[in-house]
């Protein structure tokens, strides 16, 4: 493989990793901080892609970014209202919204399951023109994405240190404490999910615009991929300041994409992506659980061994 | 100050599990009162606290705090006026957040989007040093690393950071070892007297109930069965209290926890 080809591959991997990292940061807020597993993420990602594509198609590439984020926020608002105001279990409300979003996404894409952006002005084509003669010309996509990720990380670092951010973290960390304090968990859950889904929408929008098309399956399984990335990041940079952990989330997403790219080079079929992400999530969550069981298992083995040797343990 | 009039609460009404937890209870608490509450398990002590704090809305009656009718207010709205500590030290603080972050939540200065200032940090340090537990040098550490006693002392500080109008202590030292319990009680005494807090304290320890406060209330079957204040309270002894207990409950209290903890 030529050096240039390697560079191109690396750049694409980085681009994909960073775009998905916005969804990972959304889960960082909803899953790690608020302790809500938001299963509407897949639909919301597609919603961001669909809205971003349709608005860009109508000739408003900059507006498309904010429209996608706005659509994500509305989706997050619905998910949060279902679980805080209507007594629907939080997992179930995510699934319900996710299902409903399928129809909405088709409707947004004007009753089609695909929107083509080949000749459409997007945030990326704008960046391409702006950077035409600079040394960044070939990395125009990366520039846009890095700016977006940096803004989201900066926002999270600022936001999670504010009183509202602390209240959101407390809601996820100790619901019992929040109940007897003046924090209204309904309010913090709503704010947390609305913000998280804005990032998911942004992530979907950038994905569609970078690959020049939005389709109804674009967000399929993204929640597991993002969760896998988040848990990979947690393993490396899971403790310490919010900044460190947010960077860990982004790094986790890049690592995930790198592993996936390498696997593809080694002739793994592309359709294996989702299985791999599922297995990573299983290992990341079940691993610590089994590790905690080890002393218990050892104890049982020792006891069994003692009996076999004909003597009871003292 | 706090006026509770004819409140009742029945759990699972109309079912086989129906339980009348509070029955037509009235209580008038004066400003600056420190009331200790005793009673056997299931007498309705914690239910009374839940009713005051708004964990549930009572079936009947009214609860008025400083002239404000809070009968129908949700718990988080009352929480600004009413501080509360539970027996379990784990319930009052967020283990994954640092001491400083927990205190920032409790202090609640500034708007929703404001962060902790240097001045606040200095104030946190100063207040933590009053606990004499060395917590002021561990402000960046997660609360989950603290011992039960340290955590309860911190929770007490958080609950009283902005002095509430009413402080509810629900056996807040019962889960601690005796030395730590004494320490937390001493802190309780200091904080309540310095801020002249109105306070209700549930305890299973008779000595504590007699030693603390200016008024004592005994509860049984969801109502107040004995109430002594001022000199009448001072004159009480453990034996008299036990006698009252048997008398009001009308039954033998052999296996009750209150007997065990009076044997100090």
**Cα–Cα distance, A254 to A228 (Å, whole number):** 11
Residue range B23-76, pLDDT digits in tens: 999 999 999 999 999 988 888 899 999 999 999 999 999 999 999 999 999 888
Q: Is the pLDDT of residue B263 over 50?
A: no
Q: What angle do CA A26, A27, A31 make, to 5 degrees?
A: 135
Q: Which residues in B lie closer than 8 A to residue A169 (C-beta atoms)?
A: 94, 96-97, 101
Please tell me the pTM assigned to this model.
0.87
Any A CB within 8 A of B75 CB: yes
| For B96, nearest residue in chain A (alpha carbons) | A173
**pLDDT at residue A6 in the model:** 87
Residue range A228-274, pLDDT digits in tens: 999 989 888 878 889 999 999 999 999 999 988 888 888 888 888 78
Percent above pLDDT 90 for chain B: 48
pLDDT band for B255, please (50, 70, 90 cuts): very low
Q: Is A125 or A307 the better-scoring residue by pLDDT?
A: A125
> Measured between CB atoms, which of A158, A173, A180 is closest to B79?
A180
Any A CB within 8 A of B146 CB: no
- Classify the C-alpha dihedral A52-A58-A61-A67 as positive or negative: negative
**pLDDT at residue B254 in the model:** 47
Burial class (CB in 10 A: 0-12, 13-18, 19+), B36: buried
Residue range A267-287, pLDDT digits in tens: 888 888 788 888 888 888 888
Average pLDDT of every residue of chain A: 91
Residue range B145-172, pLDDT digits in tens: 999 999 999 999 999 888 999 999 999 9
The answer to whether the Cβ–Cβ distance between B115 and A163 falls below 8 Å is yes
**pLDDT at residue B204 in the model:** 86
Q: How far is B134 from chain A (nearest CA, A)?
A: 21
Q: Which residues in A lie closer than 8 A to residue B116 (C-beta atoms)?
A: 161
CATH match for A3-268 among 1.50.10, 1.10.3470, 2.60.120, 3.40.1130: 1.10.3470
pLDDT band for B7, please (50, 70, 90 cuts): very high
pLDDT band for B2, please (50, 70, 90 cuts): very high
**Cα–Cα distance, B123 to B120 (Å, whole number):** 5
Any A CB within 8 A of B47 CB: no
**Cα–Cα distance, A291 to A280 (Å, whole number):** 16
Any A CB within 8 A of B86 CB: yes
Q: Which residues in B lie closer than 8 A to residue A174 (C-beta atoms)?
A: 90-91, 93-96
> Measured between CB atoms, which of A164, A177, A185 is closest to B94?
A177
Domain spans of chain A, in order of start: 3-268, 272-314
**Cα–Cα distance, B45 to B62 (Å, whole number):** 18
- Asked which of B118-127, B210-219, B235-244 is least confident by mean pLDDT, the reply is B235-244
Residue range B8-18, pLDDT digits in tens: 999 998 888 89
Question: Phi-psi category of B154—alpha, beta or left, where left has phi over 0 and alpha has psi -120 to 50?
Answer: alpha
Any A CB within 8 A of B230 CB: no
Any A CB within 8 A of B48 CB: no
Burial class (CB in 10 A: 0-12, 13-18, 19+), B87: middle
**pLDDT at residue B264 in the model:** 42
| For A241, nearest residue in chain B (alpha carbons) | B140
**pLDDT at residue A311 in the model:** 61
Q: Is the pLDDT of residue B175 over 90?
A: no
Please check whether the domain covering B33-54+80-261 is classified as CATH 3.40.50.150: no
Residue range A69-128, pLDDT digits in tens: 999 999 999 999 999 999 999 999 999 999 999 999 999 999 999 999 999 999 999 999
Q: Which residues in A lie closer than 8 A to residue B79 (C-beta atoms)?
A: 180-183
pLDDT band for A217, please (50, 70, 90 cuts): very high
**Cα–Cα distance, B106 to B160 (Å, whole number):** 9
User: Which residues are within 8 A (CB) of A209 and not within 5 positions of it... i.e. 6 or more apart?
Assistant: A52, A53, A56, A61, A64, A117, A122, A123, A124
Q: Is the pLDDT of residue B253 over 60?
A: no
Q: Is B90 or A277 the better-scoring residue by pLDDT?
A: B90
| For B81, nearest residue in chain A (alpha carbons) | A182
**pLDDT at residue A30 in the model:** 97
Any A CB within 8 A of B108 CB: yes
- Indicate which of B75, B81, B96 best probes the interface with A, i.e. most A CBs within 10 Å of its own CB: B96
CB atoms within 10 A of CB B234: 10
> Measured between CB atoms, which of A163, A173, A177 is closest to B110?
A163
């Amino acid at each position: 493989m030529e050096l240039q080809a390697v560079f191109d591959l690396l750049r694409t991997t980085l681009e994909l990793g960073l775009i998905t990292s916005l969804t990972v940061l959304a889960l960082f807020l909803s899953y790690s901080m608020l302790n809500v597993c938001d299963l509407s993420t897949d639909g919301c990602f597609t919603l961001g892609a669909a809205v971003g594509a349709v608005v860009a198609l109508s000739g408003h590439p900059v507006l498309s970014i904010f429209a996608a984020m706005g659509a994500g926020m509305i989706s997050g608002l619905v998910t949060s209202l279902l679980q805080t105001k209507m007594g629907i279990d939080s997992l179930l409300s995510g699934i319900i919204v996710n299902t409903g979003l399928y129809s909405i996404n088709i409707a947004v894409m004007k009753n089609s399951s695909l929107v083509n952006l080949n000749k459409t002005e997007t945030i990326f084509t704008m960046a391409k023109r702006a950077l035409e003669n600079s040394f960044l010309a070939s990395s125009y996509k990366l520039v846009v994405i890095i700016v977006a990720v940096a803004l989201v990380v900066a926002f999270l670092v600022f936001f999670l240190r504010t009183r509202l951010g602390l209240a959101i973290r407390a809601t996820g960390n100790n619901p019992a404490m929040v109940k007897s304090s003046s924090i209204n968990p309904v309010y913090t859950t709503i704010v947390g999910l609305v913000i998280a889904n804005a990032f998911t929408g942004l992530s979907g929008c950038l994905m569609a615009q970078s690959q020049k098309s939005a389709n109804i399956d674009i967000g399929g399984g993204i929640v597991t991929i993002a969760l896998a990335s988040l848990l990979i990041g947690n393993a490396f940079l899971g403790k310490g300041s919010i900044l460190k952990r947010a960077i860990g989330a982004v790094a986790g997403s890049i690592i995930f994409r790198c592993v996936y790219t390498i696997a593809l080079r080694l002739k793994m079929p592309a359709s294996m992506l989702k299985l791999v992400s599922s297995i990573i999530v299983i290992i990341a969550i079940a691993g610590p659980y089994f590790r905690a069981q080890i002393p218990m298992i050892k104890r049982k083995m020792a006891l069994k061994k003692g009996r076999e040797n004909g003597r009871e343990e003292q | 100050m706090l006026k509770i009039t004819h409140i009742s609460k029945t759990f699972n009404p109309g079912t086989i599990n129906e339980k009348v937890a509070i029955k037509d209870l009235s209580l008038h608490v004066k400003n600056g009162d420190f009331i200790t509450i005793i009673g056997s398990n299931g007498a309705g002590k914690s239910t009374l606290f839940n009713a005051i704090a708004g964990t549930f809305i009572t079936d009947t009656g009214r609860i008025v705090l400083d002239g404000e009718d809070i009968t129908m207010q949700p718990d988080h709205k009352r929480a600004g006026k009413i501080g509360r500590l539970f027996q379990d030290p784990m319930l009052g603080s967020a283990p994954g957040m640092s001491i400083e972050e927990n205190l920032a939540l409790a202090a609640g200065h500034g708007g929703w989007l404001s962060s902790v200032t240097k001045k606040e940090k200095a104030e946190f340090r100063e207040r933590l040093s009053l606990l004499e537990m060395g917590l002021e040098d561990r402000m960046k550490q997660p609360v989950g690393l603290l011992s039960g006693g340290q955590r309860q002392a911190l929770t007490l500080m958080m609950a009283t950071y902005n002095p509430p109008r009413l402080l509810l202590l629900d056996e807040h030292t019962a889960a601690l070892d005796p030395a730590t319990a004494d320490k937390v009680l001493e802190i309780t005494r200091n904080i309540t007297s310095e801020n002249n807090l109105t306070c209700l304290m549930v305890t299973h320890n008779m000595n504590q109930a007699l030693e603390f406060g200016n008024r004592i209330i005994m509860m049984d079957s969801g109502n107040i069965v004995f109430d002594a204040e001022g000199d009448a309270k001072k004159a009480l002894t453990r034996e008299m209290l036990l006698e009252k207990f048997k008398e009001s409950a009308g039954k033998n209290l052999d296996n009750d926890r209150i007997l065990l903890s009076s044997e100090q």
